[in-house]
Amino acid sequence: MSRFNGKRAEFEASGEKINVAILGAGRIAHTMADTLTQMAEGSLYSSWIHPYAVAARDITRAQAFADQWHFDKAYGSYEELTADPDVDLVYIATPHSLHAEQAILCMKAGKNVLVEKSFTANAAQARALLDAADGSGLLCTEAIWTRYMPSRAIVDRIVDSGAIGELRSISANLCYPVSGKARMSDPAMAGGALLDVGVYPLNFIDMVMGGHGEVPVERVETSMTPYAPTGVDAQNSTTLYYANGVMAVSTSSMLACSDRAGCIWGDKGYVVCRNINNIEAIDVYGADHAVAEHYDVPAQLTGYEYQVAAAANAILDGREECAEMPHADSLRIVELMDELRRIKEAVQPQEILLVIDAMTGQDAV
């Protein structure tokens, strides 16, 4: 158990702050460091969030990162980071294939974890990670930022209001030309479009459908274009058929640019969300295709602050999951992505599954 889990009153009386550490020092780690720095400097979060430490595979890289972002501590191994008693929350910022192993390492050391998407490389890893979290008294939550953003509540209110009538169909896409990044094409690092960018349209659809799997998916159709050098999925399209008659299409690519739109279609109108990866604006159209309502989303620091604040609040309340992205939702999305890869026969190398063997002593397949 870390210092402040379930001890909100004690924390507030102490005048201390929640010390956030970053495991990994790559691109996304820098985005989180920028976020934490801005949180520490602003009036809304500065009294309770502190950018504290970073760990990388070598101390030189970690120290350069800490110097750039003015962190207190730098560690040249992940084990050193988890041994620090002052670390309250660890943000896991490494490739998908390492998330489960490293999050379990942190929790065994009594650290709360905020695990970057995709939560894990596959459902077997997700189950092992959630088993470690269950009953631990520690927070384990997925850092898929769109689940925590204020735009989610705006979309929910529009759909629930009946402004577009009865929900009939959903379309969401996210595509970036990022195949040149080594981890994106490497099967051993759980590369491919689906886990990196495809997870966003799937989550967008899931959120519109209410989350929590309340409306079951009855049928799935999916296809993909393999990345020729390695066989991971380069582009994919999936259609989900829900029990209530709603049809939803999710598209992602690591080869192309797209408009990144999320569209929600009803029998009286429709909603267009600009950039499902970080919604910038929302327009509601009537059946005449004229804009009936326009919504701007609240100003933000980077957009990552919402997940950090949600995680910190969960720690202080003694919760093992965040309401914005509960364990069941993370597992359900990973299970869906496993099923899509199985249907499409995308490469799923044994190297990814063997991580579970090392952690649990059991076969993952």
Q: Catalytic site residues?
A: 117
d(CA 305, CA 301): 7
d(CA 121, CA 96): 5
292 burial (CB, 10 Å; 0-12 / 13-18 / 19+) is middle
Q: How long a stretch of residues is the chain?
A: 365
Q: How many CA atoms lie within 13 A of 307 on its CB side?
A: 24
Query: Taking a C-beta distance cutoff of 8 angstroms, is the pair 277, 258 a contact?
Result: no
d(CA 209, CA 170): 9
137 burial (CB, 10 Å; 0-12 / 13-18 / 19+) is middle
Q: Buried b vs exposed e over 225-255: b needs ≥16 C-beta within 10 Å?
A: ebbeebbbbbbbbbebebeeebebbbbbbbe
Query: Taking a C-beta distance cutoff of 8 angstroms, is the pair 238, 248 a contact?
Result: no
Phi, psi of 354 (to 5 degrees): -65, -20
